Amino acid sequence: MRVHRYVCIKYADDTTVIGLVSGGDETAYREEVRKLTEWCAVNNLLLNSIKTKEIIIDFRRTSIDHAPLYINGDCVERVLSFKFLGVHISQELTWSTNTTAVIKKAQQRLYFLRLLRKNHLNQKLLVTFYRSTVESVLTYCISAWYAGCSAADRKALQRVINTAQRIIGCPLPSLEDITRSRCLRRTSSILKDSSHPARHLFDLLPSGRRYRSLKARTSRLTNSFFPWAIRTLNTQK
């Protein structure tokens, strides 16, 4: 009788620790990092401190110096932006870095669209190819970042679609229309789910026809998803 042994190897990717530092006290944040390090050691998970990055988002007008973060004796690199689940997040919570990366990736795929057009692929299949390979890049996680994009970033994104339209030879949905549709769809699912943690942010006015505007704590968050979603809802007929 032959006995086979199988070894199961598991790993965790994109592990993230988020800490809120209030009053300059970083104790809770650093304690959470220490607990994660210990948990990884106990559960035989290798925490790669060399690849670990730290980003500090500070809303104060005058920032202060923060002590370096160490994991297993290695100093964690502090960065101005990093890629998380396919989205580039910057220290200033602006989306120019993400927009630049999205446009570059989408433009690279336009080459294949031109190649297919050159080989006389019919228009219907060109649209299908565009939606699956180019539009999917432009709209990935768009509900999270589009509202905070600058006007220049939005125009640059739309230019990619305009180029695709000229290649295919037919009109394509604008990025504004796609984003608006996805925003309303996501908002609708939140409103239908009474257990959703963000449900309380959508507060109807006494008239019952409009939602109360959500005031962000800082100007940088004015165009984040929820204030933008409420403004979008209030403009619907």
**Residue 218 clears pLDDT 50, i.e. is over it:** no
The whole-angstrom separation of Cα 84 and Cα 100 is 15
Q: For residue range 80-127, what is the model confidence (pLDDT) as tens digits?
A: 888 888 899 888 888 999 999 999 999 999 999 999 999 999 999 999
pLDDT of the residue at 229: 87
Q: Which of 20, 139, 135, 152 is nearest to 86 (CA)?
A: 139
Q: Which residues contact 97 (CB under 8 A, 6 or more apart)?
A: 81, 88, 90
Torsion of Cα atoms, 19 then 22 then 28 then 30, to 10°: 60
Range in 53-57, 132-136, 173-177 the model is least confident about:
53-57
Average pLDDT, the chain: 86
pTM as predicted = 0.79
**Residue type at position 217:** R
Looking at residues 148-177, what average pLDDT do you find? 94
Quickly list DSSP for 42-68: HTT----TTT-EE-----SSS----PP
Is residue 71 classed as helix, strand or coil in its secondary structure?
A: strand
More confident residue, 127 or 62: 127
Q: For residue range 139-161, what is the model confidence (pLDDT) as tens digits?
A: 999 988 998 889 999 999 999 99
